[in-house]
Structure 1
Amino acid sequence: MEKLIVNLSSKDRTVHSKAELDKKAKVRLYWFLEPGPNNTPLKWVPAADRGGFGEAGVMKFSMNTDSNGVCEHDDFRLSACGLDTFKVSVGSKKDGSDKKTNKEYEVWRRVYLSVRYMDSKFVMPLDPLHTEYRKHGIWPKEIPPGGGSAKVKYQEVITKDTEPDAMMQPVTEHKLEGRVLLVDRIWLASKREFTVQSNGRHIQFDVSPFVSDPQPGWMLWDHPQPGTCTAGGVGIGSYDVTQYMTRTGDLELTVKVPNGTPAATALDEAKARGKLSWTFKVWFIEILNGFAYEKDGTIVIANRTRGQAPRPLAPRQGTVIHEVGHGLGMVPAKIQEYNEFNGNPIKSGLKKNPTHYQNGGGHCKTAAGGSNPDYIDGTCVMFHYGHNSRTLQFCGSCAPIVKRRNLNRSSMKWP
């Protein structure tokens, strides 16, 4: 069986076919197509993505040989679905009773990966990625990054999702290249200012009610002093008490102004006239394992999250598989069903993907607990965060979608 990559150019799905008689004669030959038993069901495949003869994608057609007894054509087109197989046969009888196998084909799609890194110790083998994607008819290929060295400038923390843009060299394989960047930490940060009041100069409180529009997973910057604090009251000025502020929880701050300090004296005087005011300017962060943007083809993977130790190898590999999945359009919110005969979309066939949920992108909730959008501990590689039970594999719901995704270069969102 011949394995063919079909998505590099618009011509790749077209297969040249040739049959030759053992004598020079003009006769009519009949060509037959047999789809494999494990091909993607046609109800999930639009007309443009199906295999067959001619524009209509028929399973049988006829054509005359030339005067030399040769019949060749470019009328056979493979499907766009990974691992679909097709047997092409030819014979001289219309009923196919004398047909003989001409060729057998298997559909594959190519995706390229170029890897950049801040430190060589962040580099990891991507064998699990190759293994997983080949299950679905995608043949990844690692290539050198274009335009320069794979090593980029070290930066301890990525604090904005736009920061990796300056570290990415030009694309070599347009529309099909996922550009992987291995960084140390990803702490997406946002500075917020708020004021609270108290009756005394010791204050301990949960900061979340005082932050407008909090993001899921946000916490105070993981440092004893994640920002600044000033204190004041009626009849006194503003005192910088940052040195007395402590991060005592992911969403908790404590300020204890010690006795005998100028600030303590002023605040004790002011509290007799009314409440004290505390103004905080602090950083909040969302700690990520990685993130990806389809429009840029960027896949950013963190070596560490919160602690000092690197993340274990398997979860980091899983994050690459996950983020490449996003680059290929996973996980779609809706699934379209098509007419099995003509491949036209069925109006009533556009239905919600039962395992899709939205949490920082489209993700899969297979085997997850909790509730939307904050599901917990899903097992599909497309679940939104890594944990011990998340596999390196697409689940039974996502795998067929990956297999039938049209990855033609012309339709991909990567640059």
Structure 2
Amino acid sequence: MTRRDVHVPERFSPSREPLAGVHVLLGVSGGIAAYKGAELVRRLRAAGAEVRVVLTENAARFVTPLTFQALSGHPVRTSLWDESAEAAMGHIELARWADEVIVAPASADLLARLAHGLAGDLLATLCLATAAPLSVAPAMNQQMWAHAATQANLGVLRERGVDVLGPGSGSQACGEFGAGRLLEADEIVARLVERRRPRELDGVRFLVSAGPTYEDIDPVRFIGNRSSGRMGFAVAAAAAAEGAQVTLVAGPVHLPTPRGVERVDVRSAREMREAVLERAGASDVFVAAAAVGDFRPRDVAPHKLKKASADSGLDLSLVQNPDILAEVAALDPRPFVVGFAAETERVEEYARAKLERKRLDLIAANEVGAGLGFEREDNALLLLWPGGREALDRGDKADLARALVARIARLRKPVGEQHA
């Protein structure tokens, strides 16, 4: 939504100056990496952006305001107590001027203050007062980065829509080695350009299922599938990042809801079926990433089952759960339907058969088993569709999800606009 008092760039150039006309407010917090902020200003201006800089009091101990003034072409602000600027509520004017707010480097202290909504200095106040997107590029000692408090603060910021850029990993000024290095200026600019480019899925309605389903045996026991839900959540996040309106139907997992995604929590296969079918008719794309249990107990005991003796067994009578994917694929009209196939052998053969049997538009197949697929941060996928295939090498599930969403976007285009 555009407000009259927020600058809107007149143009977006995808070539030599991809940030032409964009107003970038750069905040620099205290830390040895503050000197890299000077190079970031130079790179932002080379990309066409107009840059203004705010330093915290501690940042000015590392790099002088005069350096940033020379590079940006604008006076540098360091304090809320600048009488000449604040006579006209200068911090509000700066907050309205910005199209993008980037804090680089962002210290552990500043991240903590932003997470708790504190506004004790000019930079933190601007971050609260602006309607512009906020990005933070952390830089700190590797142990500070790994500390539970820092990670908790980052979780809060991400949930509020803050884009966390990095950090990188390597040798640090303190002599230690690990995560906590400020991303290079070119990487930060590239992330900003990527976020501002036209998105392929603006307005497309995505429905994603994720995680396992649990089928109760009695009030304390259940049967279920091994699934962390990470892949489905990554798909939901990737689709939302491309502008899609995403609804995520999630089985019982402990994962934060991706930014900009509507979440519906369910437990059993029948609950997931109800939630999916209720929304599938109004969706443009359905991605069935959930590991839905094929069977459930015929009867659920009202009380905890007791062992009759030390060596007694338990016989369970199981019935088949509904096939949610097949039901959605059979709708008329129906969304673009994407299935998943987790196989322990003959992956492509079985996945291709499932694609054809259930009349899917695309299937993502992967090998599972010892150390593969489930409950891992990485994976590898084979994408199959009528007349085509694409192998995605092992990598982070977030990267695989972005590649999958990109393939969906291409396959949904008219035949003449598709490309390999």
TM-score of the aligned structures, taking structure 2 as reference length: 0.25
The structure whose Rg is larger is 1
Greater share of residues in helix: 2
Query: Scaled by the length of structure 1, what TM-score is found?
Result: 0.25
More strand by share: 1
Which fold has the larger relative contact order, with Cα–Cα distance below 8 Å and residues 6 or more apart in sequence? 1
